[in-house]
Amino acid sequence: MIKKGFIAGIVMVGIVLALAAFTGKWSYLYFVSGTMGAVSLVLALAYLIDSIVLGNTGTFFSAKKTRKVSRVEDAKRFGAIAVPNVLAALIYVAAG
């Protein structure tokens, strides 16, 4: 799950980089990647708090074992999505 999240984050940064290079506005890298990174971090924190309060697995209104999803794994995935986006925004700030 973490690898998929990290790859999704890298793809998002790649799309933002392509958009910034195409338009010539490199501030998109800060605003769009920074926003996506912040939203992903908030979602990761929300899932982590949710796992502490409600337990690790949720059933999504179904008692089937195949529908159970680990909230901690979702938190890790959103954290992995946030890493490349936050790094891209920080690199823009450091270089700017």
- The CA-CA-CA angle for residues 79, 80, 83, to 5°, reads 85
Cβ(71)–Cβ(46) under 8 Å? no
Q: How many CB atoms lie within 10 A of CB 39?
A: 14
Query: How far is 59 from 69, CA to CA, in rounded Å?
Result: 7
* 10-residue mean pLDDT series, the chain (96 residues): 90 95 92 96 92 72 60 90 95 89
**Would you list the domain boundaries of the chain?**
2-95
Q: Say what the pTM is.
A: 0.82
